[in-house]
Structures are given as C-alpha cells and as structure tokens.
Amino acid sequence: MMNSMTTDELTIAIAVPLEAEYVEQIRAIDPAITVLYEPDLLPPERFPADHSGDPAFKRTPEQEERYWAMLNKAEVLYGFPNESPAGLARIAGSNPRLQWIHAMAAGAGGAVKASGLDTATLDKFKVTTSAGVHSLPLAEFAALGILNGFKRSAELAQDQAAKVWPELRVPTKLVNGSKLVVTGLGEIGMETARVARALGMRVSGTKRNVEAIDGIEEVATNDGLAGLLATADAVVNTLPGTPYTEKLFSREVFAAMKPGTVFVNVGRGTVVDEEALLEALENGQVSYACLDVFAVEPLPQDSPLWNHPKVMVSPHTSALSAAENRLIAERFCSNLRIFLEGGEMPHLVDTVHFY
C-alpha cells in the first residue's frame, strides 16, 4: 500500500526509451500525478521495444546529472535506470522516496539479483515485472519450434541449400493428436498450452502447486517431470532461472524422454544442461531443439549448438513484437491504478528466489 500518500504527491519518472503516446497514456490515468519524461536523456530505440536503446548513445555530463536528478525525484520508475542491474543498484541507494519500479522484462528477477542489493534494501520498494506481456509471442514461437520439428524444416532447408531432391520421400509427424509437456504452467505456459490445443495437441505440464487445470490433462511438480515425458512428443520449457530450476533438464530427464522428442526452450537457458542436450540430440532422444535462451548469452562462438543440424538458435528475441511497448504501457497503467488504490501488486519479483 502507498505510504498514506495523496495522488497529487505521486511522481513517475520514465527511465527507459518510450514513445510519447504511451507516456501520455500514463499521464491520463490521473490528472494529479506528475510524469517526468525527457526524451533527450533517453537513448533512441533501434527497433520497437528496444528498452536499452542505441549503445552508441552517450549523455553529456550535464545530461547525466539531469537524468539522475529526474529519477531521484520520483516515487515510481518506469524501467530500470539505464535498463541495467547497476542502474537499479544506484537508484536504490540514491532515492529514499522510491516505492515501486516496473521492469520491462518478464524475467526481471535475474537483473534484481545481479544488482547485488541486500534483502533489507529490496524490502524498501517493490519491483513488478512485465510477465504476461510476452506470453503470446513466446507461445507463437514455441508453436513454431514444435512445427519445425514435426515437419522436418531443418532437413528441408539443408536439402534446399544442397539442391537435393530426395529419392525417398520421408513422412512428417502430425501435430494434431500428439502430446505436449509444458514445464511451468504460469502465464506463458498456459498461453503456450492454449495455442498448442488449438493445433489439436493434448497438453500436460508442471507447476509448483499441483492442481487441476482446465484443458490440461495431467499436472505434476518438476519432481514428476520424468513421468510426464515418457509419452510426450514435444516439450516446451517456460521456467525461469532459479536455484530450483538449475539444469532441471539433466541427462536423466533427457533419458526419460521418448526417442524423437522435439524440445523447445523459451524460459531460461540455465534450466538446461546443454551438454546433456547435445548428447540427447546425438543419441536421438531429441530429434530437434528450438532454443531462444542459453546458459551463457550471447551464445559463445565455440558452442556446438551454432552449427548443429538439428538445432535452431534464436538470440533471445522470441518475446519481442512490434506491439510490446504498447502492451507494457497498458500493463503499467493497470498496475498504477492498483498502486494508487493501495491494492496488491501483481507480478512482484520474489526477492528470495528472484523470479
């Protein structure tokens, strides 16, 4: 709840690049709030929802001073300063008025952890994420990965590049009627399940708290993942990177898969033991892997995943869409109404598990 603050005392600072139309949308929530927005202090976007902006952008010393002075006047920030853990650490130490920061990322817990702030400092303000905003583009990307694997798109591309017309025609697998396991039945996982069911797939999945879910055939904890995989044709990981999910997809878990399983990762790279994945690709447990996230990013040049014939490498961009800034601004406005009313904020970063 707000600290017995009247609306006309609330100041919001825009810390990351954002189109003016969405700034006006935030201002329109309540005429009494003040929104600080100085676009000349923010790096230009190179593409829609480029929250970090052009890395070539540099503020003059005078602009740098203005930027931080603006942020230190606010109780609420739209975005991490400079979209970085270091910026978060700095503002936490310099702005005693700070009550809430809305992060651009769905998985902002990693950046909060990387800031190095202690629990006592993190307890002084709330951090909400943009979880859910990216659900549909991630679900669509997951569907792309499943279809690529089932329809042998990697082999088709190789034959096309070599101008080979195979003498023997190889059939593809039907998505309709096949079984999908989604690890992490949160907003992204449930949207993935919805899209998969529209394609005719039967969906099971994992959740920290096991409960019956409409449209999901079986729900288990991650401890029960191996049992779900025995009959799955495809697996989509949507789990965040936490100590509890570290290398969840181990040799043992890949070995529990049905041979020929399609694997898609739109969660976090640390959830997968990449050496174990490579072994599973080689021995046929995994027939195709569509990967948007990796244990180390950017993916090191010497990683064998780059050139693997059964792997699609996506540079952690599957959540991006031209509509992202609009969707995040809408999410922020919804949260702002809750904040002004003293309600419970959704999508708070867990400062123990950092997700």
Please list the active-site residues.
Answer: 268, 297, 316
Cα–Cα dist 112/295, whole Å:
18
What kind and span of H or E run contains 265? strand 261-265
Taking the C-alpha atoms of residue 85 and residue 87, their distance in angstroms, rounded to an integer, is: 5
SS3 of residue 24 by DSSP = helix
Closest CA to 248 of 257, 237, 260: 237
Query: What is the DSSP code (8-state) at residue 249?
Result: B
Q: What gap in Å lies between CA 251 and CA 302, rounded to an integer?
A: 22
CA 295 to centroid of chain Cα atoms: 14
- Is 271:297 a contact under the CB 8 Å cutoff? no
**Largest Cα–Cα separation, the chain:** 76
